[in-house]
Chain A
Amino acid sequence: MKLQTKINIRFLSLLLVVFLAAGIVLYFLLGLAVNHSFDNSLRDRSKTFKESLSLHSSVDLTRYVNDKSIILKPVEQKIAGKIYKDTLIADRSETDMDNYREMVFGVTSNSQNYQVTLLLSKYETEDLVALIFYFMLGFFAFIVLILFFLNRWLSSSMWTPFYKTLDQLNTFTIDRKNNVDFKSTDVYEFEQLNLSLKTMMLKIQTDYYNLKEFTENASHEIQTPIAIIKSKLENVLQDKTLATKQYEQIRLVYESANRLSKLNEALLLLSKIENQQFPDSVELDLNELAGQRLEFIEELIEYKKIEIKLATQQPFIVKMNGYLAEILMNNLLGNAVKHNRQGGQITITSTIDQFMISNTGSPLSIDPGKLFQRFQKQNTGNESTGLGLAIASEICNKSGLTLQYRYQDGIHNLIVSKSTL
């Protein structure tokens, strides 16, 4: 729910409660005011009644008995004081009850005590009160409606800078140097927010770039010293006067230098792929490429006595960098050969929307979910860098493809499919 809507709903429901309470209070106040004025006129009438009674002491009180507005009742005890109250009296047709205000007091005439009840119909004033009440309700509703729209208009114009900031955040990408630019606003809080966000985003971007640059420069600068180490060691290895013990040690150093060099090359390649330094893309058929690469490693496959099976062979056309495609295929095929058993099988299935390399081999010893992460190795003993599939996956990611792994009936399947974006 939008913040504006939420505020608006809260505000209006509170307003409704307040108006409702105000309405009820108003209604009662009106009632009290009406009673007060009725009581006044009743008192006036009672005065007139008493005055006329004292003027004409011989007045026959029974004269009033049939009058609708005065009820006389002879009583034993003399009634002191007076009582005002509401009462209901049936109307002439006796189907409805009407609201009356009555005043009860006592008089004494010809040594006979009477209870006098003066009645005044509230029928018309009640209508007026109701009218005023409904009018007020209507007025309140109108105010609520006006406030609703006013509020909406006001808050949407007030919150505009906030939503602009939100848009900026949504389109923010760490690896693209889109200039972080917030429109300035005259609201202090928003200005502060924008300022903090801008500082933070620029810092994140700078950090990210520095880190990336560092990785790239580091691997790049490391290449030359490694080249020197390797060639010097190669020279030393040519020396036949070396003692076996020393030779053995130098051999180990040489092998480690080689591993270091390969690791470094692989990391450099990864960072280049991540930086998208292979922009040129061409349309090519991965299946055809697989055929070419298979030919290249023919002897290796023969040596391991691996049987190549070609299942469905439709062209799998992708648009990607040619060099990366070759690396991808090398890594996928290399993986299928390396982790295969002697006399195993490799099946290549290519359809229009996916390309799959399946190979026999012992089950994974690592978590399949981590297969495409860096430095995940089946067994740490061998000389692989543990980056082959990480590179393959990264190439796929950057080329609009998805690389997936599935294990089924003892067969490892690596599936390249087109990303649905």
Chain B
Amino acid sequence: MKILIVEDELNLRTTIAGFLEEEGYGCEQANSLENAKEKLYLYEYDCLLLDIGLPDGNGLDLIKELKKEHPETGIIIVSAKNSLDDKISGLDLGADDYISKPFNLTELNSRIKSVYRRLKFGGKKELVFDKLRIIPEYRQVLVSDEPVVLTKKEFDLLLFFISNPKRVLTKESIAEHLWGDFADQADSFDFIYSQIKNLRRKLHEKSGIDYIQNVYGTGYTFNAEVS
């Protein structure tokens, strides 16, 4: 899977690229709109991470062009402005998702995967992880081929974990993934703790495996090896 990162801030760009490469993506970087146009002309990408506040122009113009030429390329807008207007106009122009700075890399990863699934497989692709099978389209989870009933938030949580296996997902990033803007409005950490406990129990009941591990009070990882 090939990703083009369009971002003018060098440090941020390399950090994102480093993270995504570890995840097994092929990453290319562009530091300006001109640079990005060049690369998009020469190569094809599965996903484009587009910072819209570039020094040489607004990235929004690129979206329409790209979607006309390559509709299967996923576009995720990255914005420092957190502005609703940008979000709406970006999505109107054909962008697939929107994430505002500062974001969690694990969140970005799960967004990329979700966009990829949607565009390539129409969301019908099953995600398989060890004994788990997840069908995102129907929000269905099978453990050892037996269906498990999860609440909406538990399902979102599981999908977030499966998108970022073996990674430490911090409490903060989980809260933001589940609640978005609401994360800092209510003390949601206790709630997350209880949700994870429930999810852990439900998965354990059917599979006999404890997939979720606590990491030093920071967050959680999702692993198959540990039993």
- A contact residues vs B (CB 8 Å cutoff): 220, 223-224, 226-232, 234-235, 237-238, 244, 247-248, 251, 254-255, 258, 261-262, 265-266, 268-269, 278, 296-297, 299-300, 303-304, 323, 327, 330-331, 333-335, 337-338, 382-385, 388
Contact = CB atoms under 8 A, between A and B. Distances in A.
Nearest to A266: B184
Interface string B192-227: 001100000000000000000001111100000000
Contacts of A265: 82
A399 to B, nearest CB: 15
Interface residues of B, number: 43
B19 A231 contact: yes
Contact of A223 (B16, B102, B106, B151): B102
Interface stretch (B33-41, B113-121, B165-173): B165-173
B185 A334 contact: yes
Which secondary structure dominates where chain A touches chain B? helix
A227 B102 contact: yes
B102 A300 contact: no
Given A251-B217, A383-B184, 19 more contacts: A220-B81, A227-B12, A227-B101, A228-B9, A231-B19, A231-B105, A235-B15, A235-B18, A237-B218, A237-B219, A244-B216, A261-B102, A262-B184, A296-B182, A300-B179, A335-B185, A338-B186, A338-B187, A384-B184
A274 B12 CA distance: 30
A254 B188 CA distance: 18
B191 A299 contact: yes
Given A227-B101, A237-B218, A300 B19 contact: no
A335 B172 CA distance: 19
A234 B186 contact: no
B103 interface: yes
B15 A248 contact: no
A338 B19 contact: no
B104 A230 contact: yes
B15 A238 contact: no
Q: 8 smallest A-B Cβ distances: which pairs?
A: A334-B185, A227-B102, A227-B101, A323-B84, A223-B80, A337-B186, A251-B218, A231-B15
Contacts of A335: 185
Contacts of B102: 223-224, 226-227, 229-231, 261
A227 B151 CA distance: 31
A337 B194 CA distance: 17
Contact of B19 (A235, A269, A303, A304): A235
B186 A237 contact: no
B64 interface: no
B153 A297 contact: no
Contacts of A251: 216-218
